[in-house]
């Protein structure tokens, strides 16, 4: 099996982004997060609490304390 | 195309159709320009890509997508690296949202060392993705019964491995591949294990509908020359299959006339 990262759910005033706990901030949208990751634009997808966030909803999706997010892009592969 | 040789049919995968039967991966090239040029020389029309987390604090640099012509190639996202059905399903859904495509190369692996597929999770994930409207191209071992199950589950194409991913061992069990092809009601695309151009030709001569490869090109001493070689081998193998080989014989049979050799009696 591949190495399994510790997967404690984010709790309290933190969120879990790509497997790493980070402090939560109020009024923090998915669009904000993508800008911080320098990942705005096409070729990016976001999953929030195991559900895909539609692209049209990035700006209106406010990250909540305890959320688990996966932010992915395309890379070379076979 | 010569008027004497009928044109081949395109390979149809769901709503997609391809004249080239070669599929090339985009991983492991030394540079992005090398990847771009290898794709070009391979003649492929469909390329695989992987889905991965965006790294935090990544230094600015060249970006993969800057070297991938999304207008020219059909992009086939994969679920490579997923070791259970659930993560493969999540990856497929993210890829669909990202690319506006229903195409997915489903890979659910069972073992880190061999990267062989996990058959039960692979079948389960195929069923779920088909239900969700995906065009599922599913990676499997060369197990004949599993290939049958996957096509019955609604896979658009079944992709048996010639040998383990990235091993370059070639087509290790041509008999199994032949049996998979003979019972196939969907296209069979050999995926994984190809090591050199002749392996591509062998797969196509066995009657495969296509071949997907990555490492054999990316890890060749000269990836661009190998890209061209596998392009030609795929076409040659396909033509050879369509032409139909001669029957094998136990003994020799001369190619030149036996009559009229000089020095013989009248």
In a domain, B162, yes or no: yes
pLDDT tens digits along B113-162:
888 999 999 999 999 999 999 999 999 999 999 999 999 999 999 999 99
Residue B8: how many other CB atoms lie within 10 Å:
13
Rounded CA separation A39/A36 (Å)? 7
**According to the model, what pLDDT value does residue B61 have?**
76
Residue A9 has pLDDT above 80, yes or no: no
Between the two ends of chain A, the Cα-to-Cα distance in Å is 20
Rounded CA separation B229/B221 (Å)? 13
In a domain, B266, yes or no: no
Interface contact B48-A43, CB threshold 8 A: no
Mutate to test the interface with A, among B54, B89, B94 (most CBs of A within 10 A): B54
The residues that bridge with B25 in the sheet, in sequence order, are: B48
Interface contact B25-A54, CB threshold 8 A: no
In a domain, B8, yes or no: no
In a domain, B207, yes or no: yes
In a domain, B32, yes or no: yes
Helix (H, G, I), strand (E, B) or coil at B34: helix
CATH number reported for the structural domain that contains residue A65 in this entry: 3.10.20.30
Q: What is the ipTM of this complex?
A: 0.87
**Residue A52 and residue A71 in contact, taking contact as beta carbons nearer than 8 Å:** no
Cβ-Cβ contacts under 8 Å for B47 (sequence gap 6 or more) = B23, B24, B25, B26, B39, B68, B73, B74, B75, B76
Interface contact B214-A18, CB threshold 8 A: no
* Burial zone of B249 (CB within 10 Å; 0-12 exposed, 13-18 middle, 19+ buried): exposed
Across the interface, of B54, B80, B83, the residue whose CB is closest to A78 is B80
pLDDT tens digits along B159-182:
999 998 889 999 999 999 999 999
DSSP B117: B
Smallest Cα distance from B130 to chain A, Å:
18
Residue A6 has pLDDT above 80, yes or no: no
Radius of gyration, alpha carbons of chain A? 13
The residues that bridge with A20 in the sheet, in sequence order, are: A17
| Count of the separate structural domains present in chain B | 1
Smallest Cα distance from B48 to chain A, Å:
5
Rounded CA separation B163/B166 (Å)? 8
pLDDT tens digits along B37-57:
999 999 999 999 999 999 877
Q: Which of B65, B24, B26, B19 is nearest to B46 (CA)?
A: B24
Predicted confidence band of residue B1 (pLDDT cuts 50, 70, 90): low
pLDDT tens digits along B84-126:
999 999 999 999 999 999 999 999 999 988 889 999 999 999 9
Q: Which residue of B has its CA nearest to A22?
A: B56
In a domain, A23, yes or no: yes
Give chain A's mean pLDDT. Answer: 87
Rounded CA separation A53/A63 (Å)? 11
Which residues between 197 and 236 in chain B have a beta carbon less than 8 angstroms from any beta carbon of chain A? Answer: 212-215
Could you tell me the two tokens for B183? 């019972």
B259 catalytically annotated: no
Annotated catalytic residue: which of B105, B113, B235, B248?
B105
- The boundaries of the domain holding residue B44 are 13-243
In a domain, B186, yes or no: yes
In a domain, A5, yes or no: no
In total, chain A counts a number of residues equal to: 78
CATH number reported for the structural domain that contains residue B230 in this entry: 3.20.20.70
The residues that bridge with B136 in the sheet, in sequence order, are: B104
B57 touches chain A (CB under 8 A): no
Instruction: Please count the residue pairs, one from chain A and one from chain B, whose beta carbons lie less than 8 angstroms apart.
Output: 102
**Residue A38 and residue A71 in contact, taking contact as beta carbons nearer than 8 Å:** no
| Count of the separate structural domains present in chain A | 1
- The boundaries of the domain holding residue A61 are 14-73
Question: Contacts of residue A71 in chain B, CB cutoff 8 Å?
Answer: 53-54
Helix axes B32-42 and B223-243, enclosed angle (nearest 10): 20
**According to the model, what pLDDT value does residue B122 have?**
97
Question: Contacts of residue B77 in chain A, CB cutoff 8 Å?
Answer: 74
B31 touches chain A (CB under 8 A): no
């Amino acid at each position: 099996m591949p190495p399994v990262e510790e997967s404690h759910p984010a709790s309290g005033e933190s969120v879990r982004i790509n497997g790493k706990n980070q402090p939560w901030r109020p009024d923090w949208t998915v669009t904000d997060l993508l800008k911080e990751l320098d990942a705005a634009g096409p070729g990016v997808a976001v999953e929030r609490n195991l559900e895909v966030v539609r692209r049209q909803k990035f700006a209106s999706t406010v990250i909540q304390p305890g959320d688990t997010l996966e932010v992915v892009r395309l890379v070379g592969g076979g | 195309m010569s008027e004497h040789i009928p044109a081949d049919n395109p390979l149809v995968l769901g709503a997609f159709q391809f004249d080239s039967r070669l599929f090339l991966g985009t991983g492991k090239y030394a540079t992005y320009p090398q990847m771009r040029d290898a794709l070009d020389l391979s003649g492929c029309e469909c390329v695989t890509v992987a889905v991965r987390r965006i790294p935090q604090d990544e230094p600015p640099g060249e970006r993969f997508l800057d070297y991938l012509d999304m207008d020219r190639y059909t992009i086939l996202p994969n679920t490579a690296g997923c070791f259970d059905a659930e993560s493969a399903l999540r990856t497929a859904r993210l890829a669909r949202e990202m690319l506006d495509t229903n195409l997915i190369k489903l890979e659910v692996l069972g073992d880190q060392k061999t990267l062989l597929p996990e058959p039960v999770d692979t079948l389960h994930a195929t069923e779920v993705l088909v239900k969700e409207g995906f065009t599922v191209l599913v990676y499997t071992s060369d197990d004949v019964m599993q290939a049958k199950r996957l096509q019955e589950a609604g896979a658009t194409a079944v992709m048996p491995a010639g040998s383990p991913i990235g091993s370059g061992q070639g087509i290790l069990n041509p008999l199994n591949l032949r049996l998979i092809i003979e019972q196939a009601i969907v296209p069979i695309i050999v995926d994984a294990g190809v090591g050199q151009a002749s392996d591509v030709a062998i797969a196509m001569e066995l009657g495969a509908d296509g071949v997907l490869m990555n490492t054999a090109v990316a890890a060749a001493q000269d990836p661009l020359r190998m890209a061209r070689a596998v392009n030609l081998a795929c076409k040659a193998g396909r033509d050879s299959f369509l032409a139909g080989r001669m029957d094998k014989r136990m003994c020799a049979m001369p190619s030149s006339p036996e009559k009229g050799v000089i020095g013989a009696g009248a």
